[in-house]
A and B are shown apart, each in its own frame.
Chain A
Amino acid sequence: MNLKFSADEEAFRQEIRDFIKKEVPPDFRGADVDCQYEEEGKEEIHKFAAEMRKKLASKGWLGMTWPKEYGGQEAPFMYDFILAEELNYHKVPGRDLYGVSIVGPTILRLGTEEEKQRYLPEITRGEATWSEGMSEPEAGSDLASLKTKAVLDGDEWVINGEKIWSSGAHVTDRYLLFVRTDPEAPPNKGITCLIVDLKNTPGITMQQIQHMDGLFSFNSVWFEDARVPKDAMFGGECNGFKVILETLNFERPFSGLCVTYARRILNDLIDYCKETRRNGKPLIEDSVIRQKLADCATRLEVGRMMSYNVVWMQSQGLPTPKESNMIKLYGIESTKKVYDIAMQILGPYGQLEEGSKWAPLRGEVKYLYMRAIGLMSAGGTLEIMRGTIAGAGLRMPRG
């Protein structure tokens, strides 16, 4: 047992902080890292994110855990997590979570040599970003019932159907799409994964969907006789459900990062409570406020340690059927709770939009309070997490 970062890990963290200090202008307002490409209408953030991606790539920090032959550094898994933590904490966009943390590792695990050569180096160079096409209007938690279909016609797959909740699909380059290729097989045995070039495939239309927080966070994506080459198939025919599970497995540990982001907000909120007077004294001297802030800090520390454990387990190649779903469940619930408490502390000011001279912390808490509701369903609802913990994790009887 050693629950401290090694000197090398600490040095790497410092190197990232120095990098951020150097490359990020002091007046940069920050972006919600996970959603950097969703900030429709905020062109300067998109531009900045793209620049940062190039700079991160030139440091060798994108896909840094991958083998050198695919552009990686063969760094330990914890390094990638430290990088993600620091970028999250400092609200710096540019590290494409889907590409680097989810799709890349899935390709490494399940891809052919040709696929690895083709898709991984372009991620490490910061040249390609990714999104996913999983959910459909009629296939949410019951993902295996998805209906979008693909039929092989000569050397091409012909795709027809509709995907929904594809985050960032309107700005990303590549798309991990899940389609039904064998309608006769049981639902989870007839799904195939296709890699789709979103920028250059005719027959694809999209419409952005607006989150109540104001952002156009995700998309409906329609396929009408969209054609992709035969070799776009990934992971083998009718093996798509395995690919889905693999991507979810890689996605889970990074769910803990919402805790890191919330820690930054909490620190901003503590500063606010020091500077703000209510009832004739600074808010920070009110014991109720102190209890709430300490409670938030505790919740986030618990999540931090749970995350590190999952990252460590995965770095050791240990299966994490319980732990990775727990960190997702816990991370999102605790983050949600922190934003609830933050809204309470801000009182009537919490409801104000960014732009008002009265809005504390630039209205960010209000935005995160609404955004957190989305996290409760993103990538699997909290109920699906609980069901997976019970079934795969605790081996409770099947219903």
Chain B
Amino acid sequence: MDFKFTEEQEMLRNFTRSFMDDNIISEHVREMETDDKGYSPDYWQQMAELGWMGLVFPEEYGGQGMGFFELAILFEEMGRACCPGPFFSTTLCGMAILDAGSEEQKKEFLPQISEGKMVMAPALLEPAGTYTPDGIALEATAEGDDYVLNGTKLFVPDANSASYFLVVGKSNEGITTFLVDAKSAGISITMLSTIASDKQAEVAFANVKVPKANVLGEVGKGWEVTQKIIQRGAIGKCAEIIGGAQKVLEMTIEYSKERVQFGKPIGSFQAVQHHVSNMATDLEGSKFVTYEAAWLMGEGDPCSKEISMAKAWSGEAYQRILTTANQVHGAIGFTMDHDLQLYFRRGKAAELAYGDGDYHRELIACDMEI
């Protein structure tokens, strides 16, 4: 066992941290919450040039050939900065194409993603709101060279900026995944106002034609593709969570040193110290259970149980961390003026995304043959 980051991983973290510190500052994050697009195309292009979009793609598709653990480092640093934009969605879809796509699909999509020219969004959830196969009702009917999609996708992240959707539907053969041009006739997008002010949407499909060549993976085997997206999404969210939690911890310690009451910094009071120690311990546990899952995934080892443990634990631990951080900050923490609310609101969204604790605990139970 070796918990030391490689030199390459350290460099990636340091570089990402300084990019975020320089560019993705609080004002920018706040501005993007009400921006129609929700992110800066300029920063997006810079990130693409840094090789981030194609970080885990092989070089032949314009990528950097790095592993999932390195990507998790990026997610962690983006979570720390509340970095807005469709990076998460796009890389999840890109990895699904790398897994399941035909050579033509890989050649068409991956270089464009790597260059920052294509934004993609996974359209998984539906009004049922569950990350299970029986939550998929969107109908996909074969008609000549096409499939025709009818149904509603809900909580689709970054739908407003996506040029392609990765849509999970149900055909005669079973669950099937499609790469759908966002400009196809019959697609209508309604943005949702959410707790994290992120860009989630309802995406309605009315007789939307998708060429059969755009089926991703095998017809009827779409749940395997979907499951991997959920797994990577879950561990990615954990990485964002530990990045955010680290920043929240730092903010809280700093505040407890500055804020003076009864003639002393409140950080010198046992009650406050114990709060902060609990936060730090929750973070420590979340960090290592997340690293374990991300590392195993990067190695291609079986890790479904570890992923679910990481998500179930970190999602809920972050809620405790955020609540305690608010308690230490007193009234100022829950005002719009303070940055803590940015994390508090995103923390809840991250807990819900790609399965909450109850969902993942049931998966853990199945995995342990309970």
Chain A residues at the B interface, C-beta cutoff of 8 Å: 1-6, 9, 78, 270, 273-274, 284, 287, 290-291, 293-295, 297-299, 301-303, 305-306, 308-309, 312-313, 316, 322-323, 326, 329-330, 383, 385-387, 389-391, 393-394, 396-399
Contact = CB atoms under 8 A, between A and B. Distances in A.
Interface string B307-342: 011001100000000000000000000000000000
Nearest to B281: A326
19 contacts: A2-B295, A3-B292, A3-B295, A4-B1, A4-B296, A5-B1, A290-B365, A294-B365, A297-B309, A297-B368, A298-B364, A301-B309, A302-B309, A329-B277, A329-B281, A387-B273, A390-B273, A393-B277, A396-B267
Nearest to A398: B268
Contacts of A398: 268
A312 B9 CA distance: 18
Interface stretch (B45-53, B107-115, B282-290): B282-290
Nearest to A305: B288
Contacts of B69: 1
B273 A386 contact: yes
Contacts of A312: 1-3
Contacts of B286: 302
A389 B358 contact: no
The dominant DSSP class at the B interface is helix
Going nearest first, the 4 A-B pairs with the smallest beta carbon separation are A390-B273, A305-B288, A294-B361, A294-B364
Nearest to B2: A2
Contacts of A301: 289, 292, 306, 309
B205 interface: no
Contacts, number: 150
Interface string B273-306: 1101110110011101101100110010100001
B361 A291 contact: yes
B280 A290 contact: no
Contacts of B313: 298-299, 302
Contact of B285 (A287, A290, A302, A391): A302
Contact of A3 (B257, B265, B269, B296): B296
Contacts of B1: 2-6, 9, 78, 308, 312
A397 B309 contact: no
Nearest to A78: B1
A366 B276 CA distance: 32
B256 interface: yes
Contacts of B292: 3, 301, 305
Contact of A309 (B6, B265, B288): B288
Given A303-B285, A306-B285, A326-B280, A1 B268 contact: no
A287 to B, nearest CB: 7
B270 interface: yes
Contacts of B256: 396-397
Nearest to A273: B370
B362 interface: yes
A385 B52 CA distance: 40
Nearest to B358: A291
A394 B281 contact: no
B362 A397 contact: no
A394 B253 contact: yes
Contact of B270 (A294, A394, A399): A399
Given A323-B284, A386-B273, A1 B362 contact: no
Nearest to B285: A302
B277 A1 contact: no
Contacts of A391: 273
B253 to A, nearest CB: 6
A86 B306 CA distance: 21
A306 B1 CA distance: 13
A308 B312 CA distance: 21
Contact of A290 (B268, B288, B361): B361
B281 A397 contact: no
B274 A1 contact: no
Given A78-B1, A389-B281, A393-B280, A298 B312 contact: yes
Interface in B348-370: 358, 360-362, 364-365, 368, 370
B5 A1 contact: yes
B117 interface: no
Contact of B289 (A302, A393, A396): A302
A386 B291 contact: no
Contacts of B358: 291
B259 to A, nearest CB: 11
Contacts of A274: 370
Contacts of A399: 264, 268-270, 273
Contacts of B312: 294-295, 298
B284 A306 contact: yes
